[in-house]
Amino acid sequence: MSNVKPAVFTPEYRIQFDNSSLIQAIAGKSLAHPPVWLMRQAGRYLPEYQEIRSHFPDFMSLCRSPDATTELALQPLRRFEFDAAIVFSDILTIADSLEMGLRFVPGEGPVLRNPITTPKQIERLPFDTCIERLDYVFTAVRHLRAALGQRLPIIGFSGSPWTQACYMLSGYGEKNFTTAKKFAYTHPVAMTSLLERLAALTASYLYQQYLAGADVLFVIDTWGGLLADTHFSLYSGAMLQRICDHLLEMQCPAPIMFFSKGLTVSRLSPLAKIPNLCIVGLDWCADLPAMHQHFPSLTFQGNLDPAILHAGPVTTQQHTRDLLESLVDHKRYISGLGHGILPETPADSVHALVDTVRSQSSTRR
């Protein structure tokens, strides 16, 4: 199966094409080795992160400090020389801007003080003024762009509408998000309305990150894998289509990246036709070579199991090499993990991953 996609890149694109292996990989160019960056590459596994985190009373206070988040985004670049920077933020910033009382509780994760329990509550959410309360994110992108200049591309991101709705309905990181799924079955019209509003907000949020200096826009659908195929199509796939359509209407040239746990060929097939969807992140259960074969016009990222890095540098090196050798070539491939890097991951294992990508793959084009 081949899906011909129109060019997304424009002369106004801020990163110089020849200066970025990530941008070249998206365009399908031959490279000496794949670019590499990791989800959550800035975070708790780095002692320098912990030092900065200690100066803030809670996680969202940290996220609202552009100076701090800029430094946090730069830290892994200094250590590992990744091929892209990603804005330091959270997938639930939109929920927070809707005045749902987001806080992060040690040992529990995100908790929303005012979860949605009835359809009527959706109508009372302050959708119209949401974006202005997210200006701290756009300021952080501008600061990061100023710090990097044109050296590396910046990835801006948002949680997907479905993933945001999971927390907005459940109120916390509920196992399997049964509350959200019950709401979807009990109030399907209200659920669709909520997701459509979140899709429009997500597109505006990502577009503002693009205007501030982000080069790639990333939609993170962490909990899409919890959905049956029909609901995945309605609540994840259709909402990604809406986000991408909105961005095209805004004449946003940035390539879109999408990650969802549990992606299969059948789930990805309709999404592969979205013209500005260029990069797809895969978890460690996906068959990466098969995905390449079915969707040759897409660039894939992943899909090493993050737990492997806990086994140490030697094991990390072997699994990274095995993954690279499973591919026919390294075109349209970005090396990385199948989800975010785990806390307490040894930094030596991250070095082993990066070094293996850059040394072992140079013979494959």
Lowest mean pLDDT among 12-26, 113-127, 155-169, 299-313: 12-26
Q: What pLDDT does 15 receive?
A: 57
- 267 counts as catalytic: no
**Candidate list 49, 167, 207, 333, residue with the active-site label:** 167
Q: Tell me the residue length of the chain.
A: 365
**Candidate list 40, 64, 145, 332, residue with the active-site label:** 40
Question: Per-residue confidence at 268, pLDDT binned at 50, 70, 90?
Answer: very high
3-state secondary structure the chain: CCCCCCCCCCCCCCCCHHHCHHHHHHCCCCCCCCCECCCCCCCCCCHHHHHHHCCCCCHHHHHCCHHHHHHHHHHHHHHHCCCCEECCCCCCHHHHHCCCCEEEECCCEEEECCCCCCHHHHHCCCHHHCHHHHHHHHHHHHHHHHHHCCCCCEEEEEECHHHHHHHHHHCECCHHHHHHHHHHHHCHHHHHHHHHHHHHHHHHHHHHHHHHCCCEEEEEECCHHHCCHHHHHHHHHHHHHHHHHHHHHCCCCCCEEEEECCCCHHHHHHHCCCCCEEEEECCCCCCHHHHHHHCCCCEEEEEECHHHHHHCHHHHHHHHHHHHHCCCCCCCEEEEECCCCCCCCCHHHHHHHHHHHHHHCCCCC
- 44 counts as catalytic: yes
- Percentage of the chain beyond pLDDT 70 is 94
pLDDT of 224-251, one tens digit each?
999 999 999 999 999 999 999 999 999 9
Query: pLDDT at residue 205 above 70?
Result: yes
Query: pLDDT at residue 144 above 50?
Result: yes
Q: What pLDDT does 10 receive?
A: 42
132: Cβ contacts below 8 Å, ≥ 6 apart: none
Average pLDDT (302-326) is: 96
d(CA 130, CA 86): 22
Average pLDDT (52-67) is: 96
Query: pLDDT at residue 13 above 80?
Result: no
Lowest mean pLDDT among 27-31, 218-222, 238-242, 341-345: 27-31
Higher pLDDT, 85 or 6: 85
Question: Taking all residues of the chain, what is their mean pLDDT, rounded to a whole number?
Answer: 92
Q: What pLDDT does 329 receive?
A: 84
Question: Per-residue confidence at 6, pLDDT binned at 50, 70, 90?
Answer: very low
d(CA 215, CA 212): 9
Q: What pLDDT does 172 receive?
A: 93
- 53 counts as catalytic: yes
Domains of the chain: 17-360 (3.20.20.210)
**Candidate list 90, 215, 221, 283, residue with the active-site label:** 90
pLDDT of 113-126, one tens digit each?
999 999 999 999 99
**Candidate list 44, 133, 142, 197, residue with the active-site label:** 44
d(CA 95, CA 197): 12
Residue pair 279/300 in contact by the 8 Å Cβ criterion = yes
